[in-house]
Chain A
Amino acid sequence: MQTAGFLSGKRCPVVKANTQYYNMSVKKHYDVIVIGGGITGAGVARDCALRGLKVLLLERYDLTNGATGRNHGLLHSGARYAVTDAEAASECIKENMILRKIAAHCVEETNGLFITLPEDDLAYQKKFIDSCRNAGIDARAIDPQEARRMEPAVNPDLTGAVLVPDGAVDPFRLTVYNAYDAQLHGADILTYQEVTGFIKDDRGRVRGVTTYSHADKSEDSFYGTVTVNAGGIWGTLIAGMAGAGINMFPAKGSLLIFGHRVNNVVINRCRKPADADILVPGDTICLIGTTSTRIPIEECDNVRPTPEEVDLLWREGIKLAPSLADTRIVRAYAGVRPLVAADNDPSGRNISRGIVCLDHESRDGIPGLITITGGKLMTYRLMAEIATDMVCRKLGSITPCTTADTPLVGSDENARPDKEKPAASTYRAAWGRHGSNIKDIASGSAKDKSVVCECEEVSVGEVSYAIETLGARNIVNLRRRTRLGMGPCQGEVCACRAAGLIAKADNCADKAKKDLASFIQERWKGMYPVTWGATVREAQLTSYLYQGLCGLDHYASESREERPVIQGGRNNEI
């Protein structure tokens, strides 16, 4: 077996990374500045770029750092919302069908079951199916025995089952490839660049933004005719800097990741949406979620799953698939939903998961600024379309939206390798992650083919591709772009190899060591709430290797201090 080497490379005096993201030359003036590198921001950037606008995307840390990277990865059929929110349901099913078409490499067509358990009211099923059909969702009641054949992991006590076109979607890849696609169409993408304020002219029009780079600790400013605030839950703070108020209600949701796939079909409960009633197979793992707790906006940067939530998720999960009871849990995490109150409802009683697009010119008298928020991962494309339509109106452009038909880079199914042909598992895995972009992943030499992450089958070639093409500059970036470090060992085996490759790319071992320390620390954070069984042994071995053997403690404390704390303590821990 060949594997990548451990840290090597000289110490470099100047660490300059992340600023020249995607090796672009940054301009100063743009048609559109998009704030926020989540799926919404990436989607808006792509839509703008496809319509020929000069666009700059600014992200405070890494792409998908917020809610985008902390959800189920469920390709909703809309069935979950059919009974309670017909509009959201019909948006979902339309976008579901579009994403299957335009982002095939980010989507897995698994189908979904809505099961009724003995404690649930079977009468709900009829109402559920009727509502689904009204929303245009192909929902079909099937025999519980057939459901068991379709998904052997499902609770055998089920009394009813409905089959819906649910699926799984990888939010990391979807976002990264939206950003990459935007870049291929002329957009500039800047990460680790936090917006610190707005530049307004004397008539109060937003003309641009001032920024702080977390990578090279410098301040900068950029100018744009229209600025789109796609900051998710943090969008309320961004709008606040411009003087506009948005009534947001952050709702924390926790999830558990299991070490392997227990189910191959999404399993939901056929009842009114509640906690921990969706089990999604995502790539090599499966996840159960979520919970829902209102939290104050100040806590959004530091949400963590509580022991009670872990317990609830596990107990409820077992009801969906009893096999979860003795399945290894590798991680627990939490995200924040950007729920928005309708403008005419300051109390927040009428919170919508629907899309909210605010024109701050007409709403608050602040021309040049738009906020796009609310919505869901599922409807990011539609959100981007709505926001870009508004941008175009402001710029006097009439170019129509084409994102519903234009495939995302990498989704060319014709390039799919022959399934029957023997192929290295790294190749198979990389195809699953990058689709037809795999043509850009080097696999010629023994080194390119050698394995970095063994749990997730990431090769040196794939890591190099993520560094050179997808803008990865540290191990967390790599994780989001390749799944490196997401397997059961949580970086134990691959992190040092990845750090070696990063060190080589930067020609700097010192930065890579600090990066390694913070990556291991970040992985431990997610393991901590679920440390029992094999996970505890894994964590012990990891700690022995990195603390005991490599002595990374020293670097861990240094790297923590390095984390910049600005803007009222909005120091994001990933």
Chain B
Amino acid sequence: MQDKNFQECVKCTVCTAYCPMAAVNPSYIGPKQAGPDGERYRLKDKAFYDYALKYCLNCKRCETACPSGVRIGDIIAKAKLESESFKPGLREMILANTDLMGSLAVPFSPIVNKALGLDISKKAMDGILGIDHRRTFPSYASETFVHWYRRKAARTQKKFERQIYYFHGCYANYNFTKLSKDFVRLMNACGYGVRLLDKEKCCGVALISNGMGKQAARQGKINLASIRKAGAPVLTTSTTCTMTLRDEYPHVLGLDNADVRENIQLALKFIYEKVESGEIKLAFRDDCRKRIAYHTSCHMERLGWWIYATRLLEMIPGVDLRILESSCCGISGTYGFKKENYEYSQAIGKKLFDNIRDAAADIVATECETCKWQIEMSTGFEVQNPICILADALDVEATRALNGVR
């Protein structure tokens, strides 16, 4: 039976008012028309609104704004997957297969990182693939997190009384392993052993937005099977992975995750709730004198959980936390890498970049990896995941003692 969520729309148009793309691009008709209005027309003829779908960032700010509970972004994402005009090309394959590219790149990371930074290769990618030459690619780690974990951490995890599973995602595995290692350190100090899932595949968000729905669904099934098998909380450090696993799986890919959805949690939310209930105690060093500007990424906004991140950061003594006005940075995963989107991407982010400069903070905090790339590239400010900030400021010995870790 068809999903009729779109018929709850009462045309108040608040979604379009909140759409970062509609604000900078007059050619985009906005989420209301591309989403629920369009869905009505697509029931008659799939070709309707086809031209408009490509503008959607999948930021989900429309869904956050909607007072009628219409899953506008999901409707658009689904229409895009079903559309004939979004067949992925080589560029899409490369950008979306983060898993594959990561495993190929990591063994040769010094060469790959060097090559990705060269002007000539940037020009070549621009000319041949349509990946904008002005973009900076995230560098690859010399060893994947999973490899490191098996080598260094796996043996010690079983001794903890309490266990959680970690869905690390691609970025924390192939690129920025400090995040995943910090997470293990933090959880261990709090008395939790960190386990990896039986099989973890990329959550598939980039596949969805690049028109590879079938592959995303295949990977999703593998992930859900592993999550089911785990039977314990599965924590994540990426907001986008979390949203994909929890919400896009059922709404866009049609994968039923109702039995495990509540088990999939953002680590920051999990930790905060345990601190609240007294099951986790945190002790911080007092030498962390920093002004932190917190940026609410779009998918954190959609999850509605930024409050957990900011409350935790505020617990660090000496931290001067400034919460930036919530707005999209413009990169939206692989979207901003595409040549034709670069200008829009930067125009959308301008407000945020200005706000960051005005805040005159030491660092910017956000959970989203692609926001990190975009903000670092566009403002020069250092961007950290709150998990890393917490781990860096943590008094490990004191925390271990408080949580009864021997």
Chain A 361-375, CB-CB to B under 8 Å as 1, else 0, gives 000000000000000
Chain A 418-438, CB-CB to B under 8 Å as 1, else 0, gives 010011110011000000000
Which residues in A have their C-beta under 8 angstroms from that of B326?
Answer: none
A37 vs B235: C-alpha distance in the bound complex, in angstroms?
Answer: 68
Inter-chain contact B32/A541, CB cutoff 8 Å: no
Say yes or no: is A344 at the interface (Cβ < 8 Å to chain B): no
Inter-chain contact B26/A454, CB cutoff 8 Å: no
Closest to A489 in B: B11
Inter-chain contact B85/A422, CB cutoff 8 Å: yes
Say yes or no: is A537 at the interface (Cβ < 8 Å to chain B): yes
A550: shortest Cβ distance to chain B, in Å?
A: 16
Inter-chain contact B22/A1, CB cutoff 8 Å: yes
With A492-B11, A534-B7, A538-B10 known to touch, is A260 a contact of B40 (CB < 8 Å)?
A: yes
A284, A327, A457, A534: the one within 8 Å of B10 (CB): A534
Closest to B50 in A: A422
Say yes or no: is B4 at the interface (Cβ < 8 Å to chain A): yes
Inter-chain contact B7/A283, CB cutoff 8 Å: no
Near B by CB (< 8 A), chain A positions 454-481 give 454-455, 457
Say yes or no: is A119 at the interface (Cβ < 8 Å to chain B): no
Which residues in A have their C-beta under 8 angstroms from that of B28?
Answer: 1
A283 vs B43: C-alpha distance in the bound complex, in angstroms?
Answer: 10
Say yes or no: is B399 at the interface (Cβ < 8 Å to chain A): no
Say yes or no: is B49 at the interface (Cβ < 8 Å to chain A): yes
Say yes or no: is A328 at the interface (Cβ < 8 Å to chain B): yes
Chain B 13-43, CB-CB to A under 8 Å as 1, else 0, gives 1001000001000101110110001111101
Say yes or no: is A144 at the interface (Cβ < 8 Å to chain B): no
A422 vs B2: C-alpha distance in the bound complex, in angstroms?
Answer: 26
A261 vs B6: C-alpha distance in the bound complex, in angstroms?
Answer: 12
Q: Which of B26, B32, B33, B43 has the most CB of A within 10 A?
A: B43
Inter-chain contact A537/B22, CB cutoff 8 Å: no
Inter-chain contact B44/A283, CB cutoff 8 Å: yes
Closest to B70 in A: A534
Which residues in B have their C-beta under 8 angstroms from that of A262?
Answer: 2
Inter-chain contact A419/B40, CB cutoff 8 Å: no
Say yes or no: is B148 at the interface (Cβ < 8 Å to chain A): no
Inter-chain contact A419/B47, CB cutoff 8 Å: yes
With A326-B4, A423-B51, A537-B68 known to touch, is A493 a contact of B45 (CB < 8 Å)?
A: no
Which residues in A have their C-beta under 8 angstroms from that of B38?
Answer: 425
Q: Which of A264, A327, A423, A488 has the most CB of B within 10 A?
A: A488
In this complex, the interface size class of chain A, counting residues with CB under 8 Å from chain B, is: 35 or more
Closest to A419 in B: B47
A2 vs B68: C-alpha distance in the bound complex, in angstroms?
Answer: 24
Which residues in A have their C-beta under 8 angstroms from that of B32?
Answer: 454
A521 vs B44: C-alpha distance in the bound complex, in angstroms?
Answer: 29
A267: shortest Cβ distance to chain B, in Å?
A: 15
Say yes or no: is B258 at the interface (Cβ < 8 Å to chain A): no
Chain A 445-457, CB-CB to B under 8 Å as 1, else 0, gives 0000001001101
Inter-chain contact B7/A261, CB cutoff 8 Å: no
Say yes or no: is B1 at the interface (Cβ < 8 Å to chain A): yes
Inter-chain contact A1/B49, CB cutoff 8 Å: no
Closest to A285 in B: B40
A456 vs B35: C-alpha distance in the bound complex, in angstroms?
Answer: 14
Say yes or no: is B124 at the interface (Cβ < 8 Å to chain A): no
Which residues in A have their C-beta under 8 angstroms from that of B40?
Answer: 259-261, 284, 455, 487-488
Inter-chain contact B41/A323, CB cutoff 8 Å: no
B147: shortest Cβ distance to chain A, in Å?
A: 46
Inter-chain contact B48/A425, CB cutoff 8 Å: yes
A493 vs B49: C-alpha distance in the bound complex, in angstroms?
Answer: 19
Which residues in A have their C-beta under 8 angstroms from that of B49?
Answer: 425
A403 vs B32: C-alpha distance in the bound complex, in angstroms?
Answer: 43
Which residues in B have their C-beta under 8 angstroms from that of A451?
Answer: 29, 33
Say yes or no: is B198 at the interface (Cβ < 8 Å to chain A): no
Inter-chain contact B44/A1, CB cutoff 8 Å: no
Closest to A426 in B: B29
Inter-chain contact A454/B48, CB cutoff 8 Å: no
A261 vs B30: C-alpha distance in the bound complex, in angstroms?
Answer: 22
A167 vs B28: C-alpha distance in the bound complex, in angstroms?
Answer: 34
A558 vs B25: C-alpha distance in the bound complex, in angstroms?
Answer: 42
Closest to A421 in B: B47
Say yes or no: is B275 at the interface (Cβ < 8 Å to chain A): no
A486: shortest Cβ distance to chain B, in Å?
A: 12
With A284-B44, A428-B48, A455-B37 known to touch, is A260 a contact of B12 (CB < 8 Å)?
A: no
Inter-chain contact B37/A261, CB cutoff 8 Å: no
Say yes or no: is B9 at the interface (Cβ < 8 Å to chain A): yes
A541 vs B12: C-alpha distance in the bound complex, in angstroms?
Answer: 8
Say yes or no: is B8 at the interface (Cβ < 8 Å to chain A): yes
Which residues in B have their C-beta under 8 angstroms from that of A327?
Answer: 4, 7
Which residues in B have their C-beta under 8 angstroms from that of A328?
Answer: 4, 7
Which residues in B have their C-beta under 8 angstroms from that of A264?
Answer: 43-44
Chain A 1-32, CB-CB to B under 8 Å as 1, else 0, gives 11000000000000000000000000000000
With A488-B9, A489-B10, A538-B10 known to touch, is A422 a contact of B29 (CB < 8 Å)?
A: no
Closest to B38 in A: A425
B53: shortest Cβ distance to chain A, in Å?
A: 11
A425 vs B34: C-alpha distance in the bound complex, in angstroms?
Answer: 10
A322 vs B1: C-alpha distance in the bound complex, in angstroms?
Answer: 9
Closest to A108 in B: B44
Closest to B85 in A: A422
Near B by CB (< 8 A), chain A positions 300-332 give 322-323, 326-328
Closest to B52 in A: A425
Inter-chain contact B47/A454, CB cutoff 8 Å: no
Which residues in A have their C-beta under 8 angstroms from that of B29?
Answer: 1, 425, 451
A537: shortest Cβ distance to chain B, in Å?
A: 5
Which residues in A have their C-beta under 8 angstroms from that of B10?
Answer: 489, 492, 534, 537-538, 541
A492 vs B12: C-alpha distance in the bound complex, in angstroms?
Answer: 9
With A428-B48, A493-B11 known to touch, is A284 a contact of B26 (CB < 8 Å)?
A: no
Q: Which of B13, B39, B41, B50 has the most CB of A within 10 A?
A: B41
Chain A 224-239, CB-CB to B under 8 Å as 1, else 0, gives 0000000000000000
A and B contact pairs by CB, cutoff 8 A, 15 listed: A1-B16, A1-B22, A2-B26, A261-B44, A264-B44, A284-B40, A323-B1, A327-B4, A419-B47, A422-B85, A429-B41, A451-B29, A451-B33, A489-B10, A534-B7
5 extra interface residue pairs, beta carbon distance < 8 Å, beyond A283-B44, A425-B38, A493-B11? A424-B51, A454-B37, A455-B11, A487-B40, A534-B8
Nearest first, the 7 A-B pairs at minimum CB distance are A489-B11, A422-B51, A328-B7, A261-B43, A260-B40, A538-B10, A1-B30
